[in-house]
């Protein structure tokens, strides 16, 4: 790429030429990107903040009973403060907040709803491994008087923008507005995100899987069969060897898949049969599934396309299988044979 294209320019051109980013949505995405820059700075500081170190736990739990890290809370506040005054949003929802956050009435209300996991992969914060922010944007239903939680309960196919920012060796923002997937890396000298890839594609086949193998004894038959066949390698029914990766940050695992293919699974398992899975539908699975589909991959809970699931509550969980299309279809086929 001879000339560097900033995220701002990319969004302006998308708005001008393709016409599918209204100005309020463009503003929203710029604000989210700016918040991600601030989170990236905090992540980089690590223990250097002294008494204000961002490492460690905050001494509280979120609505899902998970211990909150200091950085979970900092990232949540950064996203809210950056987004509440711009006039582009009606409300926000986050993994770290029980209910929705309605834009205070001292600010103008916009027509969009923003959902996020402010700091995904929290268990990796203190050990200096990649983490990220995931976000999903919906539109307020038309003719709606006053925003409430029900307005958020839209299937993922109705998202108007989705993305994540991975804080790894580089800070990279990955975005879709329904016209393919674009990647931007933060140029710290310039202070801006620069386009590095405009039309990300995932190869339909892969020889790499990502799953937490320590849960193997709890898996359901179709997942077990798929992984057993991968592990059998060249001598097994697949006739090829597979490699395994598990970062324990969905953002980093999905980023790898967008870069070089693969399949990611966090399936339902028998430990808590009433729990659909570990990951959250609305601000983890939906945005990631849309990105993966936009790059030519597939995403399912084993029985249904994730983007078609009608959510019934904000913090709903879901079983996730996503990545290279042919592999995801194979696992789905194993579920159908149950």
List of residues contacting ligand AHM (CB under 6 A)? 66, 95, 117, 120-123, 212, 248-250, 266, 278
Q: Closest distance between Mg ion and the C-beta of residue 63, in Å?
A: 13
Considering the complex, state which of residue 88 and residue 255 has its C-beta at the smaller distance from ligand AHM. 255
Decide whether 23 or 212 has the Cβ nearer to ligand AHM. Answer: 212
Q: Which does 289 bind (CB under 5 to 8 A by kind): Mg ion, ligand AHM, none?
A: none
Q: Which among ligand AHM, Mg ion, none contacts residue 269 (Cβ within 5 to 8 A by kind)?
A: none
Residue 73 CB, shortest distance to ligand AHM, in Å, is 13
Neighbours of 85 (CB within 10 A): 14
Residue 241 contact partner, candidates ligand AHM, Mg ion, none, CB within 5 to 8 A by sort of partner: none
Q: Which is nearer to ligand AHM, 95 or 208 (CB)?
A: 95
3-state secondary structure 120-178: ECHHHHHHCCCEEEEEEEEECCCCCCCCCHHHHCCCHHHCCEEEEEEECCCEEEEEECC
- Closest to 276 in 3D by CA, of 320, 328, 313, 307: 320
| CB nearer ligand AHM, residue 147 or residue 322 | 322
d(CA 134, CA 35): 12
Closer of 110 and 121 to ligand AHM (Cβ): 121
Q: Which residues have CB under 8 Å from 319's CB, separation 6+?
A: 266, 267, 268, 276, 277, 301, 302
Closest residue by beta carbon to Mg ion: 120
Which of ligand AHM, Mg ion, none sits in contact with 53, Cβ below 5 to 8 A by type? none
Q: Which residues contact 274 (CB under 8 A, 6 or more apart)?
A: none
List residues binding Mg ion (CB under 5 A): 117, 120
| Smallest distance, ligand AHM to C-beta of residue 3, A | 35
Using alpha carbons, select from 72, 286, 43, 71 the residue that is nearest to residue 164: 286
Q: How far is the CB of 123 from ligand AHM (least distance, A)?
A: 6
How far is residue 306's CA from residue 302's CA, in Å, rounded to a whole number? 9
């Amino acid at each position: 790429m001879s000339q560097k294209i900033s995220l701002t320019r990319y969004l302006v051109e998308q708005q001008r030429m393709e016409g599918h980013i209204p100005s309020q949505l463009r503003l929203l995405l710029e604000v989210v990107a700016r918040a991600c820059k601030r989170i990236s700075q905090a992540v980089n500081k690590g223990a250097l903040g002294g008494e204000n170190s961002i490492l460690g736990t905050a001494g509280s739990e979120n609505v899902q009973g998970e211990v909150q890290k200091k950085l979970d809370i900092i990232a949540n506040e950064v996203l809210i403060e950056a987004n509440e005054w711009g006039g582009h949003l009606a409300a926000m929802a986050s993994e770290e907040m029980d209910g929705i956050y309605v834009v205070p009435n001292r600010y103008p209300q916009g027509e969009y709803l923003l959902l996020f996991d402010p700091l995904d992969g929290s268990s990796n914060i203190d050990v200096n491994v990649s983490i990220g922010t995931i976000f999903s944007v919906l539109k307020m239903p038309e003719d709606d008087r006053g925003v409430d939680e029900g307005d958020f309960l839209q299937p993922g196919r109705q998202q108007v923008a989705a993305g994540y920012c991975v804080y790894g060796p580089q800070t990279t923002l990955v975005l879709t507005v329904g016209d393919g997937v674009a990647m931007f890396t933060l140029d710290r000298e310039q202070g801006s995100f620069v386009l590095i890839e405009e039309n990300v594609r995932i190869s339909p086949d892969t020889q790499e899987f990502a799953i937490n193998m320590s849960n193997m004894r709890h898996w359901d038959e179709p997942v077990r069969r798929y992984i057993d066949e991968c592990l059998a390698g060249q001598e097994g029914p697949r006739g090829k060897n597979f490699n395994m990766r598990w970062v324990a940050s969905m953002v980093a695992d999905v980023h790898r898949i967008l870069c070089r293919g693969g399949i990611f699974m966090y399936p339902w398992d028998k430990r808590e049969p009433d729990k659909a899975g570990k990951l959250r539908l609305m601000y983890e699975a939906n945005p990631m599934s849309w990105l993966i589909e936009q790059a030519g991959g597939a995403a399912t809970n084993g029985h249904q396309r994730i983007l078609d699931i009608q959510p019934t509550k904000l913090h709903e969980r879901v079983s996730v299988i996503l990545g290279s299309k042919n592999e995801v279809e194979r696992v789905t086929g194993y579920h159908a044979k149950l």
